[in-house]
């Protein structure tokens, strides 16, 4: 049962460590650290993604800035109380880490530096919108179960015809998605007029599978961007 739940949230990212690792917290006597990973996009830009990792996985690793690593794990969420309000915080929770042994192996890994698979349920009404350039987008929030009766809430974005399809989804609908984890900078305007710079993390969907249940017969519909 445990492995089945784990298989609903799978992330693989490859990139360069760009911050020093810092102690985050301790749970049941096990310490956890965080650092940021710079993950390249095919468009030659990058995503800066937060990673949380157990001390037990890095006991023999220095993890210095500038080093390239492969992280396998899950995209997890938790609530943090910041400035008198709750905010949803995302992190890539590492279950394994690998340091490429040479440049050839690193170049091979960088061909697919950012992949995620999620199997979950729509937990908020989708929001359809268009960009100033006319590109269609639908914002989704997907609940993904994990062990010990916990769930992760993953913001996701669908584009184009995926966006048009996702606009019809309802709360409770079962979906599976494939894509990449991305970082996005934006400005938040506060009630007092102050503006702060923030970074959002979300899944950019490249493929979506809608699991429908019709008279107890399960079917599916695949849609790619």
What pTM was estimated for this model as a whole?
A: 0.88
Residues 6+ apart with CB under 8 A from 121: 142, 143, 172, 173, 174, 175
CB burial of residue 107 (10 Å; 0-12, 13-18, 19+): exposed
pLDDT string in tens for the chain (225-residue length): 344 446 899 999 999 999 999 999 999 999 999 999 999 998 889 999 999 999 999 999 989 999 999 999 999 999 876 666 678 899 999 999 999 999 999 999 999 999 999 999 999 999 999 988 899 999 999 999 988 889 999 999 999 999 999 999 999 999 999 999 999 887 777 677 777 788 899 999 999 999 987 444 445 556 666
Q: What is the pLDDT of residue 31?
A: 97
> How far is C-alpha 9 from the geometric centre of its chain's CA atoms?
9
Domains in the chain, ordered, with CATH?
Answer: 2-112 (2.40.50.140), 117-224 (2.40.50.140)
């Amino acid at each position: 049962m445990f492995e089945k739940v784990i298989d609903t949230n799978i992330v693989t990212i490859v990139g360069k460590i760009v911050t020093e690792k810092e102690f985050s917290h301790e749970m049941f006597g096990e310490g956890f650290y965080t650092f940021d990973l710079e993950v390249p996009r095919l468009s030659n830009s990058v995503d800066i993604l937060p990673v949380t990792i157990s001390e037990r996985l890095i006991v023999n690793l220095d993890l210095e800035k500038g080093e390239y690593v492969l992280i396998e794990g899950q995209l997890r969420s938790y609530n943090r109380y910041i400035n008198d309000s709750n905010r949803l915080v995302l992190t890539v929770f590492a279950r394994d880490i690998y340091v490429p042994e040479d440049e050839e192996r690193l170049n091979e890994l960088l061909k697919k530096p950012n992949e995620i698979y999620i199997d979950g349920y729509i937990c908020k009404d989708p929001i359809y919108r268009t960009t100033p350039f006319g590109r269609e987008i639908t914002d989704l929030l997907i609940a993904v179960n994990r062990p010990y009766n916990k769930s992760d809430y993953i913001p996701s974005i669908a584009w184009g015809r995926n966006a048009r399809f996702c606009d019809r989804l309802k709360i409770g609908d079962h979906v599976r998605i494939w894509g990449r984890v991305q970082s996005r900078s934006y400005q938040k305007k506060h009630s007092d007029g102050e503006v702060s710079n923030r970074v959002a993390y979300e899944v950019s969907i490249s493929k979506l599978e809608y699991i429908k249940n019709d008279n107890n017969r399960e079917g599916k519909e695949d849609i790619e961007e």
